[in-house]
Amino acid sequence: MKMALHRAQTSMVLATALYRGSHLVAGISAVLQHQRHRPVQWAMLGAVLACSAVVFADTRRRGCPGPWVVWLDVLVTGSLLPFVAYAWGGARASESIAWVMLLGGSSAALATVGLRRRAAATAIVLLLVTHASGYVAVAADTAVIGAHLNALVFSAVISRVLWWYLRRQGTLLDAANDRALAAEAQRARYAERIKHHRALHDTVLATLTAIAGGVDAGTNEVRRRCAREAAYLRRLVEQTGDQETGSEIFTALEESVRSAESLGLRVTARYHELPSVPADIARAMADAVTEALNNVRRHAGTGHAYLTVTGDSGRLTVAVVDQGHGLVPGRAAPGLGLTRSVHGRMREIGGRCTVDGAPGEGVSVELRWPG
């Protein structure tokens, strides 16, 4: 359920609970003043309290009152108790049965909130018949009966109108939030495209322009630069439309990859189903990857590293692997520096880092968020 609609529903349930609470306070006051020596009256109050507890416990668990608990309240609190008060509770006048009848208003309100339109109408009719019969049994005046039935009907009508209004406002607010989120996502995608366009302008287009202007394309420096730009283009093309949600982490990691490539390290990067992560998480992961790639460049004895980024159910896993010297016993400096720098960054964001390697088999650095 949408957030605003859920809040509207919660507000209506709270209002209904407070309405029932006011009736319970009136009932307790009436019993204490006039019928405190009648055990049946206290038993009736206990039944109302128990029924109300069941109703609102179910409402809290489900988020809204279930039909069966609403019918339980209508049948017990609204329909059965007036006859119990007359038959065993000593109610023989309208004043002595009034507190029981008062509870019908909150039962009617609850019915309009928890039942569909036809079922709610049926419940209201049942309450009207029951309460009219109860007042006739104690020989109440016609004016008293009419006023009470009018109050019962309008309790239902007001609750229905309020519930309709709150749901409508919640739906409209949720729709406005959805439009705002969609617009923000569109702005983010546009900004991402502009960022890629600028990167292409500063890299691939600059290289092609230099070659077209007469730079010798056969030199080793130009060939290496072309290879880097081709790798960047390949990774950019592989970012399909269904991976746009992970553009934040893609952009941050690409900066790390291109930084390593500018220092002479060849990086083969693959991205799969990138999740959407907060900007600070993406930045911290990219910093950790930068350090891992720097470690390959400085200590692995190889000019090639492999970066694999995957997402699964909102979890992000980044692996940096090389096929260099590996972790050689007795030479802890590289591993120690990597462990301190990368582990520290991952701990700060609630992630985890695992470093694995063996002599001659390279090193694997795996970053996970959340840890």
Residue ranges per domain, the chain? Answer: 3-177, 216-369
pLDDT tens for 270-285 read: 888 888 888 888 888 9
pLDDT attached to residue 34: 82
Q: Is the pLDDT of residue 331 over 60?
A: no
Write down the CATH number for the domain with range 216-369: 3.30.565.10
Q: Is the pLDDT of residue 231 over 80?
A: no
233: tokens are: 């283009």
Mean pLDDT value of segment 196-200: 67
Mean pLDDT value of segment 196-208: 68
Three-state secondary-structure class, residue 295: helix
**Residue 259 exposed, middle or buried by CB count within 10 Å (0-12, 13-18, 19+):** middle
pTM: 0.54
Q: Are 82 and 98 in contact (CB under 8 A)?
A: no
36: tokens are: 């405190």
Mean pLDDT value of segment 353-360: 86
pLDDT attached to residue 242: 46
Confidence band, pLDDT 50/70/90 cuts, at residue 1:
low
Mean pLDDT value of segment 343-365: 87
